[in-house]
Amino acid sequence: MNADDINVLNAYIDKLEKVAGATITDLDSYLSALKSRHDYFAANGCKVSDHGLDYIYAADYTEQEIKTISVKLEANRQLHRGEFEI
C-alpha cells in the first residue's frame, strides 16, 4: 500500500487482483478486493495479523481528496510529498 513507489504499489495491486479474483479499476474496487481478503482470512480462523510496520502514517482527507489521489495512482502518476497535505 506504499504509494511512494508506484511500481511497487502496482505490483501489489496485480497480486491482490489475482488472489481476490477481482479486477481493480478504482478506489471502490480496490477496497472491495481488500475486504474480500480480510473476509477470507477471518473465515479461515485468522483473528490477528502483524504487518511489522515501522511507522503508521495517518492524515485526515475528504472523500474527494482520496478519490483524486486514487485516480492519480491509477494513471501511474507519482504523488509528490505535500501535494495533499492538510
Domain regions of the chain by residue span: 6-74
The pTM (predicted TM-score) of the whole model is 0.69
Q: Cell numbers at residue 83, please?
A: 501535494
pLDDT digits (tens, 9 = 90+) for 12-67: 889 999 999 999 888 888 899 999 999 999 999 988 777 777 777 777 888 888 88
pLDDT digits (tens, 9 = 90+) for 54-73: 777 777 888 888 888 888 77
Q: Cell numbers at residue 75, please?
A: 494513471
Predicted local distance difference test score (pLDDT) of residue 55: 78
Contact 29, 22 (CB under 8 A): yes
